[in-house]
Amino acid sequence: MADVTINAGVDGLTENRDALHGPYWTSPSVGYVVFQVASNAIEIEKTADSGAAWTIQDATGNPASINNRSMAVWWDQETPGNSGTLIHIAWVETTSNEVHYIAFDTSDNTYGTDRTIDALTISGTSSDSDVGITVSKSGRVYVCARGDFEQDTENTDHSMRSSSDGFATNNESELSPYSSAEEVVKLFPGADADENDISAVVYVSVGLSLEFWKFDASANTWGATTIDNDSSYTVTSTEARLYKIIADAAVQLSDEHIIVAWWSDLDTSTGDLRCADIDQATPTVTAKTNIDTNTDDSAQVALLINQQNNDWYAAYLGSDAGDETWGVTVVCYFKKSDDGGSTWSAEQTYGVQLDDLRAVSLGRTVGDAGGRVMPVWFNDDLEDILVNDGNDIEIAAASVGGVGIRNPMAGPMTLRTPMGVS
């Protein structure tokens, strides 16, 4: 089946800036992708026909020419118990040395107000900033941001802010998760009794470790638990910043566990694509079966959980056969686990394009409204974002009671009823 171009003029440093997110699905046919275009503006494109065509949304309301250096996105329905319609976006802007926030409402396809929530010292280079965003179970929005990896003064070079009203009037300072250890941070809602609590999956470039952190909102403290501290890591701190999706994670809504996947190394024959299940309450990190083992010429990872039956999907770039060339000629692939990471399916070829693909996103969640397993990827030299129209997997709405598989070899779409879905 054919690859479909969503946009042919995206930012040339998309992989550096973590500037590709989604698709976020409101039905099996309607989804949204968030990214940064070449003019440094944030853009959202929508499909209403399962990925065959994409259209720009609210072009007059989007944040224009922001000179974005990092961005992060959170979809309301990634948070347990949240059935909201907002896509929350945060970014670091080097023109004004500010951290910004905006929400896009999928109910009417419009942006809210662009709000400045903090000011930081920023070096002006794309690899020197980071930002994370989540919505807690209480509905509070948290944004953490780092302007400059070379400096570590809280509230000058890095900070965390929270708000109960989308930063309209409420903007509170919290303890930042950043320090001189040069962290890359992804935020998630917490699972404790205090619904203002949050958590984070943190790549620490100094010391080369992957960690799970919990934030106690009432005490304003962070606590850390190691996920992986493998001495075979050879990824430099610069590479960790440039390729921010060396790790991805998603919330499993049924038990509020965090599922995380990460590469043990970048583009080496001993690199593993590893996986773990994190029980936030304890916290307890349970290692699962590797998605790939000893795989060269493969990198990047994106996760998605079918919340209807807890199937996990992992997309990545470069075959597990190790017969492609990372950074030059790779294809987008994915694998599935239907038993909580104990086993993974054979590699499924998703895209047709063989080129210097550098970033991939999968949207992290599909709930009862249904959606699709549809990785989107970034082509570096062409500066395009693409999907494949035909090799995706339809996840039907829960009321339909089945998962539709779009199988290009079988002709018309077929339906199956997976275990755990009635």
Read off the pLDDT of residues 210-238 as tens digits, 9 standing for 90 and up: 999 999 999 999 999 999 987 455 545 55
- pLDDT for 66: 66
- pLDDT for 314: 98
Q: Would residue 170 count as lying in a domain?
A: yes
State mean pLDDT over 343-349. 97
Residue 126 banded pLDDT, cuts 50, 70, 90: low
State mean pLDDT over 55-66. 86
Q: How far apart, in Å, are the Cα atoms of 334 and each of 64, 163, 292, 344, 360?
A: 34, 36, 11, 10, 11
Across the chain, what does the average pLDDT equal? 89
Q: Would residue 405 count as lying in a domain?
A: no
- pLDDT for 241: 55
Q: Would residue 240 count as lying in a domain?
A: yes
Q: Would residue 102 count as lying in a domain?
A: yes
Strands 42-47 and 31-36, bridge-based pairing = antiparallel
Q: Are 233 and 347 in contact (CB under 8 A)?
A: no
Domain tally, the chain: 1
Residue 416 banded pLDDT, cuts 50, 70, 90: very low
Residue 79 banded pLDDT, cuts 50, 70, 90: very high
Q: Would residue 407 count as lying in a domain?
A: no
- pLDDT for 16: 76
Q: Would residue 342 count as lying in a domain?
A: yes
Residue 36 C-alpha from the chain's centroid? 14
Taking 90 as the threshold, does the pLDDT of residue 88 lie above it?
yes
Which has more pLDDT, 188 or 296? 188
Sign of CA dihedral 202, 304, 12, 101: negative
Burial class (CB in 10 A: 0-12, 13-18, 19+), 207: exposed
State mean pLDDT over 306-333. 95
CATH no. for residue 345? 2.120.10.10
- pLDDT for 415: 32
pTM for the structure as a whole: 0.92
- pLDDT for 244: 64
State mean pLDDT over 375-398. 94
- pLDDT for 13: 80
Q: Would residue 346 count as lying in a domain?
A: yes
Residue 257 banded pLDDT, cuts 50, 70, 90: very high
Taking 50 as the threshold, does the pLDDT of residue 411 lie above it?
no
User: And the tokens for 175?
Assistant: 């303890």
Residues spanned by the domain of 61:
3-393
- pLDDT for 270: 87
Q: Would residue 404 count as lying in a domain?
A: no
